[in-house]
Structure 1
Amino acid sequence: MPVLTLAAAQDLAAAALIRAGARPEAAASTARALVAAEADGLKGHGLARLPAYAAQLRSGKVAGAAVPSLTRPRPGLLAVDAAHGFAYPALDLAVAALPAPARAQGIAAAGIRRSHHCGAAGQPVEALADRGLVALLFANTPAAMAPWGGTAAVFGTNPVAFACPLPARPPIVVDLSLSKVARGAIMAARQRGEPIPEGWALDAAGRPTTDPAAALAGTMVPLGDAKGTALALMVELLAAGLTGGRYAAEASSFLDAEGGPPGTGQLLLAIDPEAFGPGALPRFADLAAAIEGQAGARLPGARRLALRARAAAAGIDLSEALLAEIRAL
């Protein structure tokens, strides 16, 4: 199986996106995010996305020349227009702009509209935690889950991510989909030609399925049953209703080149941990130590950090088939 350094993988991905019509800066931002996800073991948000991304660039579903823009409608609010380009440059813009108002006022928020797939949702919140801020991200995605008791998908899998800085060590990062598993895991299983476990998804007729293609044509099983769909509703309202993004049922798929731009939204919040007074960071560390002090317990993200360190040292493995497909884009 071919092994690529992280730098070589980024160059490979960026070149493929540029050939498909992305401006170089957007291609570089997107390539960094995909390779970072690959390094963290989140392959459903990694380089397997490139063929679909390239097809969407060529069809115009993603605007390759888009440049995100930022306005400040209120002192603590940033409105970011992704302009139907990839989400990653818009998220980069929000992450760069949020720390100053968050520190000045204690809290700030960026709403992103006319956006696209945000990939591994933990990345932007981790970037803000690396700058010393507590961060939350809400993102809506194209329709994939039905309301509890219903059959038609009106919610996306709608990831929620959280990051919290810790003294002298990497931050705590929580990144979860509101479906039982991320839809990217099913997409990856389809690409590998493997079945999925029963209980992950339903087919178009509402029956449990182990066929990833049938699952992608059907609906996802929510995390925590009715509670998961309630949380998905919350995310729809925050990420799309509040920001001006399209609701899940209005958005086209992230997985193919059919239709117009998805136009989904993201809401990113940043909080200064010292805003309520000193001592928050040591308190964060106290709770982390209480968790890690228990045999068999670990903080969220420990596996991800280990895989990241290994990828930085040894590179990432790609299948021959995926590597050939990327080179042919």
Structure 2
Amino acid sequence: MTTYSLDALTQWARETLEAAGATPEMAQSTARALVDAEAVGLRSHGLARLSQYAAHLRSGRVNAKAVPFVRRAHGAAALIDADEGLAFPACDLAINEAIRLGQEFSIAFVGVTRSHHFGAAGNHLARIAASGLAGFAFTNSPAAMPAWGGRRALFGTNPIAATFPRQYDDPVTVDLSLSKVARGKLLVAARDGQEIPLGWALDAQGQPTSDPRAGLKGMMCPAGDVKGAMLALVVELLCVSLTGAAFGFEADSFFDENGNRPHIGHAFIAINPSALVSAEVYHERIETLLAAMLADEDVRIPGHRRTDLKRQAQRSGIEVSEDIAAQMSGRQA
């Protein structure tokens, strides 16, 4: 393994995306998001995605010159149009709007339409928590899971995330996919020549598989079986019916270089914790629950491991795979 600073990795990712046609703004926003994911240990949403994004820019699956904009705004709600570009500039704009509207109205809903893969859901919420607001993030994605009882991929893995700020410590942040694991973990396993545990995925014939490549051609298993499938349905409707985006079954796989522009949707919610009770009551209730959780020695607060990993990465850099190190040396993705 080779270690690089966050700045070096971000520069390489930015240069790679610009070489594939992205605007400097799109390249910088995306590079920062990929390195942030790598820094918190989410390799499946980190630099492993760089070559995929670059391929989509080159093939035209992404509008390389996209400039996201506020398409509609009414009261505490707004809709961001990603202009068919990579998702991160649109998500940056959405988070800005969610914070502004959340502070003005105490609650905000900001949707994003005509977008692309938005990476690690929880990472988008860091600025919301830093502003003192509670936040939620949702996205649909290309079809990878069947409806419960179905035999074809219909819903995406449809991750959700939530963050709750604390007064004197890092926020509580929950980030999970509604498949048993994020599909990107299969991408990493396939790239590294590793098997996956049975129960993560099904092959194209609907049979359990330990081959990540077969899983990528087949379907993911929902977390919690029928409950996960129903939650995936909820996220699909939340991110599409309210934004006019494409359903998962209407979007071609992110893992294919060629295909349609996915046009998927995202949703962000920001809430002022002081809107209904005082800040003192909010923080007391949060800390009371966390203290009760931590009374059991094996319990950990969600999100804190990622925060610790990012601080360590900021100090010492990130160890990357030899594949990525080779790409860094050759300056290409």
TM-score over 0.5 for the pair: yes
In 1, the alpha carbon distance for the partners of 2:115 and 2:222 equals 23
2:294 aligned residue (289, 292, 295): 292
The aligned residue for residue 282 of structure 2 is 280
In 1, the alpha carbon distance for the partners of 2:270 and 2:146 equals 31
The aligned residue for residue 68 of structure 2 is 68
Gaps of 5+ in 1: none
Give how far 1:90 is off. Answer: 0.6
Q: Does the residue aligned with 2:270 lie in a helix, a strand or coil?
A: strand
CA contact (8 A) 1:167 1:285 kept: no
CA contact (8 A) 2:160 2:175 kept: yes
The aligned residue for residue 138 of structure 1 is 138
Q: Does the residue aligned with 2:136 lie in a helix, a strand or coil?
A: strand
In 2, the alpha carbon distance for the partners of 1:107 and 1:274 equals 11
In 2, the alpha carbon distance for the partners of 1:244 and 1:325 equals 38
Alignment of 1:217-232 (within 5 A): 217-232=217-232
Give how far 1:304 is off. Answer: 1.3
Instruction: Provide the alpha-carbon RMSD of the alignment.
Output: 1.1
In 1, the alpha carbon distance for the partners of 2:57 and 2:72 equals 29
In 2, the alpha carbon distance for the partners of 1:275 and 1:17 equals 42
Q: Does the residue aligned with 1:162 lie in a helix, a strand or coil?
A: strand
Match status 1:128 vs 2:128:
yes
Residue type matched to 1:320 in 2? E
Gaps of 5+ in 2: none
Alignment of 1:250-289 (within 5 A): 250-278=250-278, 279-289=281-291
The aligned residue for residue 307 of structure 1 is 309
Residue type matched to 2:203 in 1? D
Alignment of 1:192-271 (within 5 A): 192-271=192-271
Residues 90-112 of structure 1: CA deviation (Å, up to 9, x unaligned) = 11001112222212211111010
Q: Does the residue aligned with 1:199 lie in a helix, a strand or coil?
A: coil
The aligned residue for residue 16 of structure 2 is 16
The aligned residue for residue 53 of structure 2 is 53
In 2, the alpha carbon distance for the partners of 1:251 and 1:99 equals 30
Greater than 6 Å deviation, 4+ residue runs: none
Residue type matched to 1:297 in 2? V
Which stretch shows the higher mean deviation, 143-152 or 306-315? Answer: 306-315
Q: Does the residue aligned with 2:265 lie in a helix, a strand or coil?
A: strand
The aligned residue for residue 86 of structure 1 is 86
Give how far 1:72 is off. Answer: 4.0
Q: Does the residue aligned with 2:78 lie in a helix, a strand or coil?
A: strand
Residue type matched to 1:28 in 2? Q
Q: Does the residue aligned with 2:254 lie in a helix, a strand or coil?
A: coil
CA contact (8 A) 2:170 2:304 kept: no
The aligned residue for residue 328 of structure 1 is 332
Residue type matched to 2:319 in 1? D
Give how far 1:285 is off. Answer: 2.0
The percentage of aligned residue pairs carrying the same residue is 47
Residues 222-256 of structure 1: CA deviation (Å, up to 9, x unaligned) = 00000010000000000112111100000111122
TM normalised by structure 1 equals: 0.97
